[in-house]
Structure 1
């Protein structure tokens, strides 16, 4: 019996150095499981009060057949992709070589902040019992997210307090759609709870509902591909709000990660913010150049990795934005856009490889630098 046999549920004592931290992995509840974790009265009066049909609008390749997932990530029992911890462990850790994976379950949202909070509460309880428990995390490779509804700041702060001491909860997970932008003082209790416990806040793009959809200045886009670009604009707005509204001055140890919002746009945004700062410094209350706040407080994930036909131009962009300071590797497993770490590492400048693939992840999420040895695991490098 090897150390990775399905019956083996205790971690080996021998350790190996971490060389790949995957900052974006999506576990999914099995059908009918999450509803039991939603607290009353929201379970009955909101989530069970009306039938829910197909609500996803997404024109990804092969969506009608595979729901925009890797076809090989659906488990044999017919459940959804990402619902089987053992299959995810085999594909992502053993075969692709990820040493530590940050789990980011996308909690069902609601139009009412209280309903979104109830969904977040349920998601945290489910993740703890189905992925971070001793049976499914015996290998110590899964790290969870404290999902919170930032549109309910008081509830979000309470949920952070509830889970902050958990040994495998490594970040706080929010969405960027709720208004107003994050510089508003109403969110300060969320940032205060995060910095009190020294936990990174990550923002994953989400498909908002109704008026929470991201709206560009000229109104709603017409197509899904318009929306996909819009999420980068949304992240840019939040970056500006965090900086110009003084969030990082009020909370100097706050760390923010933008997940799946792309990242190439941050370079010209830093240039523009610095130019405005230089021209209007006497009118601004912030203490440093905007680009310095970005490099010290904000990280971005590598997926989606947008690049031109001439990949040497991508390398130059990496150099200009000092990618070794702001990028975290991410695979987006089990989605069809999955980036294999063995592929991604080949596209990074050599001097930035360690920082992007593992060191930034270890520092950002306060992770160990070694993990238990797994016989037969692929090593990325």
Structure 2
């Protein structure tokens, strides 16, 4: 029970005397929650088991705030890639809220609210970013030509986006259950296990996604070796896109972002696998390097080489070059085609019309 909730007057001197002799006692956490600036609290365990770094968290908050503004500005100016933009904005917003929570914890790391805010928001944020990454592969396939893919381009989003939603729901539900349990003083094991299940499913989904991406790249390279440039879409727009340095830079940025999100997700599974009191939860340096740095690098890489700028011709409609919002369809020969405007249908000519035409001549 927090010291501020004890009935009657509180003898702070008695609290301090006891906690100097027994800094790891639960009651000392209550004391430090009420008086976080007391020097004796340096030896009293908190939710973090370390002193939260204000400098590191302030830097991450500033960088994610900048990233949010860049993603928002890019969409406002380009009006392309709505789904990608929404996914990244939601993910970065979670990061911003999470680091606000950690800064609140720096002020008082024995308070529960800041800890719960950061553990939930920083856990689910990259799941939104992964969704944005999944949206891009379909459009990359169109840039090279659907024949180079083992599956139809639209199936990349149909497969991976639902998997990402499942992962997100599990992580959010687990975080909520664990938060309620923590607030009530109950064990958080059930919620923590659900969070781990969501993170593990995210790792598996990302692993399969990377395998599919590598498979597509290998197939494209193999067909190019046997067929030359005929293996790729030969439209003028596609040729121009593939020759652009921005497009190649985007591919590198997307690869970097995917690896960073994957590595971060593996780390979070390991971190939470022993519960909120696990040994990795005590290592602030690992958290900064494998959580903060990995995610901010992924975001800034996609800010610098945004798909709506680097491959603008495939960021609208179905994703095909020059589709202009029409729904793409696969032709019988396996090439990608698009619905065209149908010519006006001629009306049937009646016998009376035929007679009038003949009289006119």
Q: TM-score range by the shorter chain?
A: under 0.3
What TM-score, normalized by structure 1, do the two folds share? Answer: 0.23
Which structure carries more relative contact order (alpha carbon 8 Å, separation 6+)?
A: 1
Higher strand share: 1
The structure that has the greater radius of gyration is 2
